[in-house]
Amino acid sequence: MSMPLPHFKKTRKNQLAFHLCSFLGLLTLWILLPLSSHAKTYVVGSKTFTEGFILSEVVAQHLEDNGYNVDRKFGLQDRLAFASLENGSIDFYIEYSGTLAKVELKAQKNMSFEEVASAMAEKDILLFAPLGFSNTYALAVRREFAEENNLKTIEDLREKKIRISFSNGFSRRDDAYPAIRKTYGLNLEFETIEHGLTYKALTAKATDMTDVYSTDAKIKKYDLVLLEDTKGVFPSYEAAILAPLDLDPKVKTLLEELSGKIDDELMTEINGWVEFEGLSFCGAAKRFLTQNGMGDPDRRCGSKFDLVMIGKQTAETLYLTGVALIAAILLSIPLGILLYRLKIPSLTQPIIFTSGILQTIPSLALLFFMVPIFQQTGPLPAIVGLFLYSILPILRNTLTALENVDRRLIEVGEGLGLKSSEVLKLIELPLAAPVILAGVRTAAVISVGTATFAAFIGAGGLGESIVQGLSLNDNTLMLQGVIPASLLAISIEVLFELSERFWFAGRQAKQA
């Protein structure tokens, strides 16, 4: 005898529960399906400047054109790229021998490329043969300013009163300004600025000198003068691919084809393809590879304004914020109810205080803190960071809403013989719902804005366009990330507003 299936009444509550379960199920499949793939997917990372984006795209395309699956984590901040390679979050990125020697190996003297490669091998890291060019640091001034102030070498800066803007990295790195101060005995006064804005500040005469990379196409474009480094402060920065030492020999052989293919002049020209001709990073990489008989001429590269890319980045942002928000709701609302019921100030106050402290940490710093904790870059540390940022508004609103429910209504419910759980379900939570929902709304909007920083740790999203726009000083590219992020935040605000109206309309209809 078969057992009859239970009959579920088609109520609004059951429909909402069904849709929520369906969403969570699809979300779980989205997470697990990539993990179930047996094909090796190589992850290519990059730092946050034009040349890094282009060269990493060259590596990615060369692998794809030869049948390998590739994922991209571009725009990793400073040392995060090297740390990501060490912990296995990425498989390749372009690094420079001088950076490895001075920053990663803390060398007190300049090292040859061979010495750096040997030291990297001891760390189980493979440094490929150089791509063929050296992109060293340099100090740049406008030509007319150099002539007016008789500036030819770094030594000539002594006792000169000039306005200086250094990029954030240059001002701190041991192989950059600290080395100038130590070697030349110069104690310069300067302001820090994002590297992508240095040329704009220089050409607009908002500053008189800044740091540049020697293969920047803008040096020639704007007719800038590079001050001679007579004491050899800046080491050789030979560009090369960095990878795990146990790399598949076939992949190693494939990428060795790129070694020696780009000299200083060509790298400057390739940078100009992006900065002045308007090619995307994908387009510049494709042009280089096809010119060298290695690329796929049929590869499709979108323009800088790419609707497909905007859609992909929007989906990634929704994924990051959605998972983080759901997790925060599942923790914060039950926790708020528990703290309300326990009514123990010595427990409640520390929890609220701790969640409040998380809100005081700058969002970018919070995301960066997650990387060493989880020993990886990408979505996981970003989701956890967004989750922590979302706790306070939901938890505080839940607790505040319940504490402000009219006590007389609770007493009426108790007088009618309702149990404590029934009072919570039928009186307290319905009355507290608007304020709780407001907390969820606040957390959602905050998460969308904060998620744009996730691009700095390789988690994707709309922040990718912002990071790339900053590196190119391209307002159009930045707006490609800023505008959709703003529209997404507004859409979420409207969605919550409509949800509240739907909620209250349903309650009024039920009461009638």
Q: What is the CATH number of the domain that holds 201?
A: 3.40.190.120
> Is there a single domain that holds both residue 370 and residue 482?
yes
> Is there a single domain that holds both residue 314 and residue 218?
no
Residue 241 included in any domain? yes
Contact criterion met (CB below 8 Å) for 145 and 203: no
What tokens does 39 get? 């094909």
| Residue 18 CB contacts under 8 Å (≥ 6 apart), including other chains | none
What tokens does 325 get? 């928000």
Residue 205 included in any domain? yes
Calpha distance 35→299 (Å, rounded):
27
> Is there a single domain that holds both residue 166 and residue 266?
no
> Is there a single domain that holds both residue 189 and residue 102?
no
Q: What is the CATH number of the domain that holds 257?
A: 3.40.190.10
For 406, the domain range is 307-511
Q: What is the CATH number of the domain that holds 481?
A: 1.10.3720.10
Residue 418 included in any domain? yes
What tokens does 274 get? 């992006």
Sign, CA torsion 183/186/192/197: negative
Interstrand relation of 93-96 and 209-213 (parallel, antiparallel or unpaired): unpaired
> Is there a single domain that holds both residue 96 and residue 218?
no
Nearest to 391 by CA among 458, 342, 334: 334
Backbone phi, psi, residue 127, to 5°: -105, 110
Nearest to 292 by CA among 262, 272, 265: 262
> Is there a single domain that holds both residue 108 and residue 171?
no
Predicted local confidence at residue 2, as pLDDT = 42
Residue 103 included in any domain? yes
Residue 47 included in any domain? yes
C-alpha torsion angle, residues 255, 259, 265, 266 (rounded to 10):
-30
Contact criterion met (CB below 8 Å) for 100 and 168: no
Interstrand relation of 69-76 and 41-47 (parallel, antiparallel or unpaired): parallel
C-alpha torsion angle, residues 154, 159, 165, 166 (rounded to 10):
50
Instruction: Name the strands in the sheet holding 137-142, side by side, starting at the edge strand that comes first in the sequence.
Output: 191-193, 164-167, 209-213, 137-142, 224-226
Predicted local confidence at residue 257, as pLDDT = 95
> Is there a single domain that holds both residue 461 and residue 320?
yes
| Residue 313 CB contacts under 8 Å (≥ 6 apart), including other chains | 460, 461, 462, 464, 465, 481, 484
Tell the burial category of 259 from Cβ atoms under 10 Å away from its Cβ (0-12, 13-18, 19+): middle
Tell the burial category of 54 from Cβ atoms under 10 Å away from its Cβ (0-12, 13-18, 19+): buried
Residue 301 included in any domain? no
**Domain edge (last residue) among 199, 226, 253:** 226
CA distances from 123 to 88, 100, 120, 246 (A): 13, 12, 5, 11
Amino acid (1-letter code) at residue 319 = Y
Predicted local confidence at residue 7, as pLDDT = 42
Calpha distance 392→446 (Å, rounded):
11
Residue 231 included in any domain? no
Calpha distance 42→39 (Å, rounded):
10
Calpha distance 288→283 (Å, rounded):
9
Residue 57 included in any domain? yes
> Is there a single domain that holds both residue 205 and residue 82?
no
Predicted local confidence at residue 481, as pLDDT = 83
What tokens does 486 get? 């703003």
**Domain edge (last residue) among 205, 226, 247:** 226
Q: 193-220 as b/e, with b when 16 or more CB fall inside 10 Å?
A: bbbbbbbebbeeeebbbbbbbbbbbbbe
Tell the burial category of 339 from Cβ atoms under 10 Å away from its Cβ (0-12, 13-18, 19+): buried
> In Å, how far from its chain's centre is CA 294?
31
Predicted local confidence at residue 207, as pLDDT = 92
Contact criterion met (CB below 8 Å) for 92 and 59: yes
DSSP letter assigned to residue 153: B
Predicted local confidence at residue 506, as pLDDT = 62
Write the Ramachandran bin of 471: left for phi over 0, alpha for psi from -120 to 50, otherwise beta.
alpha
> Is there a single domain that holds both residue 359 and residue 287?
no
**Domain edge (last residue) among 176, 193, 226:** 226
> Is there a single domain that holds both residue 162 and residue 52?
no
> Is there a single domain that holds both residue 506 and residue 404?
yes
The helix (H) or strand (E) run that includes residue 59 is helix 50-65
> Is there a single domain that holds both residue 271 and residue 408?
no
Query: Structural domain tally of the chain?
Result: 3
According to DSSP, the residues that pair with 71 across neighbouring strands are: 43
Q: Which residues in the chain come in under a pLDDT of 70?
A: 1-39, 302-306, 471-474, 503-512
